[in-house]
């Protein structure tokens, strides 16, 4: 059965007076499905080409904030009874996160439609309105962000997303920032890694890159575990190279490999671990 939804596009204005902007995110709200979420850019290469003076790292942090806040709202809408009624439009939710003003980030007028799957519709709108003009590296077929969105759907269905926060693991001479992490006795860091690449060399190089990054953090004072959320090659000719990449990644300390077919099983296990921790803490 189809349900009504409304959506709004988040736009970045480097110079508000000039009026030139780039779409950087989409938020969607389907009240009868009790669904609300957003997808925002986590890269800024295209924007720095258009607006050379922008602060890319600050932009990335704001994008993560907006997306995580919408995910928190979605979790509340799904779990809590709407004693004060439900919002009429996505803009009522969006303006709780970024108020309408003259800043560089502004929400568009809302659009609307009908869908059988709000999560898939959000991804479709994000690809069409935000990502379609991005130049994809020649060796890359699916980006890490695209792989994350596949796992995100499963984690969302098990109510995991609202527990995840960015976390930086650092040693004296190196650091890695994980966009999605949760802590009990140790930090559990979820890292999407796409091996949907075009050549054996690019697959091997990416595996060695991640092995080096995780190994370099072995002396970190904070305890952590990395879950490598893998995106497999779509080309059958590269399956053997992908298996070799897994052999390389298995050498990374404190790392669990998760394949796409196991996304639901992993999400269920992760949700159970969170629930057990909260029960033990009396949350």
Question: What are the pLDDT digits (tens) for 203-213?
Answer: 999 999 999 99
| pLDDT score of 74 more than 80 | yes
pLDDT at position 141? 78
Contact of 20 with 13, CB cutoff 8 Å: yes
pLDDT at position 84? 59
Which whole number is the average pLDDT over 61-72?
Answer: 87
Which whole number is the average pLDDT over 246-258?
Answer: 96
- CATH class, range 153-280: alpha beta
Q: DSSP alpha helices (H): ranges in 114-217? A: 118-126, 144-157, 200-216
* Cα atoms in the 13 Å half-sphere on the side-chain side of 225: 11
Which whole number is the average pLDDT over 60-74?
Answer: 87
Residue 139: pLDDT band by 50, 70, 90 thresholds?
A: low
pTM: 0.74
Which whole number is the average pLDDT over 123-151?
Answer: 80
| pLDDT score of 247 more than 60 | yes
CA 94 from chain center: how many Å?
18
Contact of 115 with 32, CB cutoff 8 Å: no
Give the Cα separation of 171 and 40 in Å (integer).
Answer: 29
Position of tokens 């803009």? 91
Mean pLDDT of the chain: 89
Domain boundaries, the chain: 3-135, 153-280
Of the ranges 47-51, 63-67, 178-182, 196-200, which one carries the lowest mean pLDDT score? 47-51
Element housing 93 (H / E): helix 90-97
| pLDDT score of 138 more than 60 | no
């Amino acid at each position: 059965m189809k349900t009504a939804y409304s959506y709004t596009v988040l736009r970045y204005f480097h110079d508000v007076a000039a009026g030139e902007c780039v779409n950087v995110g989409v938020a969607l709200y389907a009240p009868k499905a009790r669904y609300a979420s957003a997808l925002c850019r986590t890269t800024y290469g295209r924007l720095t080409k258009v607006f050379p003076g922008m602060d890319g790292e600050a932009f990335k942090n704001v994008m993560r904030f907006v997306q995580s806040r919408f995910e928190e709202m979605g979790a509340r809408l799904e779990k809590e009874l709407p004693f004060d009624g439900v919002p009429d439009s996505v803009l009522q939710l969006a303006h709780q996160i970024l108020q309408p003003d003259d800043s560089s980030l502004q929400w568009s007028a809302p659009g609307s439609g009908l869908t059988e799957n709000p999560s898939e519709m959000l991804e479709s709108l994000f690809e069409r309105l935000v990502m379609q003009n991005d130049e994809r590296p020649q060796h890359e077929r699916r980006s890490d962000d695209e792989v994350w969105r596949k796992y995100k759907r499963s984690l969302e269905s098990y109510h995991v997303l609202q527990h995840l926060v960015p976390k930086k693991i650092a040693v004296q001479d190196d650091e890695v920032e994980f966009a999605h992490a949760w802590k009990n006795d140790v930090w559990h860091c979820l890292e999407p890694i796409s091996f949907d690449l075009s050549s054996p060399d690019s697959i091997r190089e990416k595996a060695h890159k991640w092995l080096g990054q995780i190994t370099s953090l072995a002396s970190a004072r904070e305890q952590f575990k990395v879950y490598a959320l893998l995106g497999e090659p779509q080309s059958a000719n590269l399956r053997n190279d992908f298996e070799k990449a897994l052999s390389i990644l298995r050498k990374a300390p404190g790392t669990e490999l998760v394949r796409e077919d196991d996304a639901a099983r992993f999400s269920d296990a992760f949700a159970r671990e969170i629930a057990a921790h909260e029960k033990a803490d009396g949350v």
